[in-house]
Chain A
Amino acid sequence: MTVLRAPSPLPLLPTSVVGSYSVPEWLEGVKTDFYHRKISKNYLDDIHGVVTKAALKDQERADIDIVSGGELSRDNDIDYLLVRLPGIEIPDTRKSNSYDYYDAVVREPLPVGSRFPLRLTDDYRFVRDNTDRPVKFSITGPFSLSRKLRNEAYDDPAGLVMALAELLNAEAKRLVAEGATVLQLDEPLLCGYRDQVGTAVEGINTVIDGVDASWALHICYGNRYARPSWEGHYDFLFPKVMDARVDQLVLEFARRGYEDLDLLARSGWDRGVGVGVIDVKTEEVETAETVAHRIRRALRVVPPERMTINPDCGLRHLPGDVARAKLRAMAEGTAIVRDELSTVATPTGDIAIRDESGASREAVQEGAMQS
């Protein structure tokens, strides 16, 4: 039914998340307190455990099919990995706020090979052991990681991307050995480097190489502080992204409208698509019907068996009540469309999608604009 692999069958249009979950202001404060030496690492780890369980519970209660740990133990998308990767120097490990990026530098070529476990498996195991649902585990991709490193070691920046990719590849294999079945690479910075998709794809393929899992690739327009870091269209990805050996592209649509879905059709993308139906850059909560409209719009281009439903990006910057409401709306909107798909059939037995012609199209676009 779906391109994503799970221990038990997933429903049509499985719902998932991109990765991060709502970080309350107090948690941000506690994380920062750690850097100011006001609480210990043990306390912080314990707090991370508690909030991760709560995030899982919230997703389960919202009836999300494939859940994540919410990335609540990660300061941000970059540092979580940089501090674990061998050969990366962080001259000053103090932070005025935990969400800030480290100033990290690579002075010598990175040691490669499988000798350097990054201990992501600990986090995966914790999530796996605290939910009965299939788990998606996200890793920031090598291209985006490389853009946040001061490179003093490689004449060709692509060399750094590939070295990071090899280290991530070894860790991905460890994750699969622990039971991970759905892995996602996030490339949040790629939109700002539109002429380097080829390098990014090479890195992605290196990470994926020989890793027996369903792979998603998430590319958005940035979500740092709930702001886009780029505006434009996904056209820059094509055709090079076609070479990425991923099972699914997870893209941002709810905020910007669904025109770029047509790009996928024109380019002949015949793998899975994670369709963003929740705008994570606004606190206005979508209705289930708005979500259903958006899914119907996407179904004009992507058949249901290749589609996963998710927010545009991580929910990190949304207040907890808003994040919960948005996830509920996503699940309810998806249920509406599932119901339509299961009850409306053509005489030939093909699934027919209720397409509400021009009026519906406007409604979809209006929904995107409103959110």
Chain B
Amino acid sequence: MLVDVRPTKRLRGSSPVDVSAALGPIVEALGQDTVDLSRVRVVCDWIQYKHNFRDVIDIRPITGSASSGMELEAAVDLRRCAGTDLNAATAEALREFHDPDSSDRVYLEQWTAGKDSCIWDFNALYWQALGRWEEVSGQDYEQALPGGSSDGRNQEAARELILELFDTWDELARLSSLPEQLYVVELGVGNGTQAKAWLDEFRELALIRGVDYYQRLHYIMGDYSPHVLKLAQETVAEHAAQVSSIVVDATDPTASLGFLRHKAFLVYVSNVYDNLPTDEVASISGRTYRVEVRAYLPREGSLALAERLSTTPEQVGGVVRKLLRLGPELLAEALPQQLPDVASAVRFWQEAWSWLRLAERYVPLEGLDLYQICPTVTGEVLRPILEDRGDFRMQVSNGAVASFVATLRLLHPYGRLHCHDLFVTDARRYDSQFCGPGKYDGSIVNWVNGALVQCVGNRHGFDVNYVPFRHREGTNITTLTAQVRE
């Protein structure tokens, strides 16, 4: 049996985690089972997200292994071990492993790649129907962020970026190569506060510098959520002559912004990548696996939801799928007896979201080149990170990589991508830290595989640099800058 304790920093300090207290009952339960203990991995994490998709103990099949390979993984959340009957929880998870058909879980989908799971439909629904969610929860989505606000609106950061842009434009103007329209794009515009701060600063600095860049500026605000975009338009109303707004799928920005190919001098992306679909891959005993997931509602959750609907637990899955298809407004119309108004449909949605869990299993990848991270990037790009690393698991950040690659195509030869997000800049960090997924309000958060994004950027001719966000203390946010490599 292999035991992997990942949050090693928590084994020391004033209140260290008592791993042996956690492991004892788990190993005991495993010992009471029939599994081949020599083919078991026990992996201990510390899940920092209060709301997440895991149980305290999850048993994950490792499929396709030779008889000598690993058969299952027991995944433990050390943060929640205290106060849990770990022996019973492990035994219960093992029963599920041995006989999944007799499960009392309500599964919402078949086994699928992480990025294709219906949890992303929940995520998409959150942004599409954000206004309804906020009405019922009574707080706007920024309040739900860990710091209570976005890092995007920092004036000092904006000034620094604008002045660098002016220097580039001055040089191109000297060479008679500055285009008439100066395009700047913001993806994930939020409620527009960053855009407003940026545009205010831009106008003032252009005035001071005595240049006509403000008049030539075309600031394009892009967001997935029409609701958010409308708020942003109102926020930047005084700059209306310089601003356009457009609904953008962040994973495929060229679909709506293709006309900007090689034209954008700055693409600004704030807190978008961590909310895009991702797979996870793992190396276990020298073999590469993709993590497949299956969303479900535990028995307790399906009972609670069934009570809300005055129906049976077996019917709940169908209503959840209908919710994801129709959204809360049409769901209330479709089920007037059970959900008499939109607010009750939203409350059903919020409760379903809170109960949502992910079962996982490992499925072998037959070849990295056969694994498509996104339409233009194959899994071959993972090779330098996975190679020679031993047992390892990480996010692929498929949506972020797709967005990043497509965004690079928009950049003018002298353009740059500037991005604030949660990046794992050194892949070794995956050895010791849980990097998602977690739940923020109604959306998903994952740390972004920055090491992979850097590899991808390099393979597209860009230098990709990371620095901690310099303009606020104590934040986990990292600033990515990508520019064409000389």
Interface residues of A (CB under 8 A from B): 25-26, 29, 97, 194, 222, 224-225, 227-232
Which of A26, A194, A225, A232 makes the CB contact (< 8 A) with B461?
A225
Residues of A within 8 A of B462 (CB): 225
Residues of A within 8 A of B460 (CB): 225, 227
Residues of B within 8 A of A228 (CB): 262, 413
17 interchain pairs, CB-CB under 8 A: A25-B369, A25-B378, A25-B380, A29-B380, A29-B383, A97-B459, A194-B175, A225-B459, A225-B460, A225-B461, A227-B413, A227-B460, A229-B484, A230-B413, A231-B177, A231-B262, A231-B412
Question: Once bound together, how far apart are the Cα atoms of A229 and B462, in whole Å?
Answer: 12
Question: Once bound together, how far apart are the Cα atoms of A227 and B459, in whole Å?
Answer: 12
Residues of A within 8 A of B412 (CB): 231
Question: Once bound together, how far apart are the Cα atoms of A25 and B462, in whole Å?
Answer: 18
Residues of B within 8 A of A25 (CB): 369, 378, 380
Interface residues of B (CB under 8 A from A): 175-177, 179, 262, 369, 378, 380, 383, 408, 412-413, 458-462, 484
**B262: nearest chain-A partner, CB-CB:** A228
Contact assessment for B458 and A97 in the assembled complex, using a CB-CB cutoff below 8 Å: yes
**B177: nearest chain-A partner, CB-CB:** A232
Known: A25-B378, A97-B459. A227 touches B175 (CB 8 A): no
Question: Once bound together, how far apart are the Cα atoms of A238 and B262, in whole Å?
Answer: 25
Known: A25-B378, A26-B369, A194-B175. A229 touches B413 (CB 8 A): yes
**B384: nearest chain-A partner, CB-CB:** A96
User: Closest CB of chain A to B216's CB: distance in Å?
Assistant: 16
Question: Once bound together, how far apart are the Cα atoms of A231 and B462, in whole Å?
Answer: 17
Residues of B within 8 A of A227 (CB): 262, 408, 413, 460-461, 484
Question: Once bound together, how far apart are the Cα atoms of A228 and B414, in whole Å?
Answer: 10
From B177, B369, B462, name the one whose CB has the most chain A CB atoms within 10 angstroms: B177
**Apart from A29-B380, A225-B460, A231-B179, 6 more pairs, CB < 8 Å:** A25-B369, A97-B458, A225-B462, A227-B413, A229-B413, A232-B176
Question: Once bound together, how far apart are the Cα atoms of A97 and B454, in whole Å?
Answer: 14
Residues of B within 8 A of A230 (CB): 177, 413
Known: A97-B458, A232-B177. A222 touches B413 (CB 8 A): yes
Residues of A within 8 A of B484 (CB): 227, 229
Residues of A within 8 A of B378 (CB): 25
Q: Which 7 A-B pairs have the closest CB atoms?
A: A225-B461, A232-B177, A229-B413, A225-B460, A224-B461, A228-B413, A230-B413
User: Closest CB of chain A to B198's CB: distance in Å?
Assistant: 24
User: Closest CB of chain B to A363's CB: distance in Å?
Assistant: 19
**B458: nearest chain-A partner, CB-CB:** A97
Residues of B within 8 A of A222 (CB): 413
User: Closest CB of chain A to B257's CB: distance in Å?
Assistant: 15
User: Closest CB of chain B to A282's CB: distance in Å?
Assistant: 9
User: Closest CB of chain A to B179's CB: distance in Å?
Assistant: 7
Which of B176, B380, B413, B458 makes the CB contact (< 8 A) with A231?
B413
Residues of B within 8 A of A232 (CB): 176-177
User: Closest CB of chain A to B483's CB: distance in Å?
Assistant: 12
Question: Once bound together, how far apart are the Cα atoms of A190 and B266, in whole Å?
Answer: 25
**B412: nearest chain-A partner, CB-CB:** A231
Question: Once bound together, how far apart are the Cα atoms of A232 and B174, in whole Å?
Answer: 13
Residues of B within 8 A of A231 (CB): 177, 179, 262, 412-413
Question: Once bound together, how far apart are the Cα atoms of A225 and B369, in whole Å?
Answer: 20
Residues of A within 8 A of B408 (CB): 227
User: Closest CB of chain B to A279's CB: distance in Å?
Assistant: 11
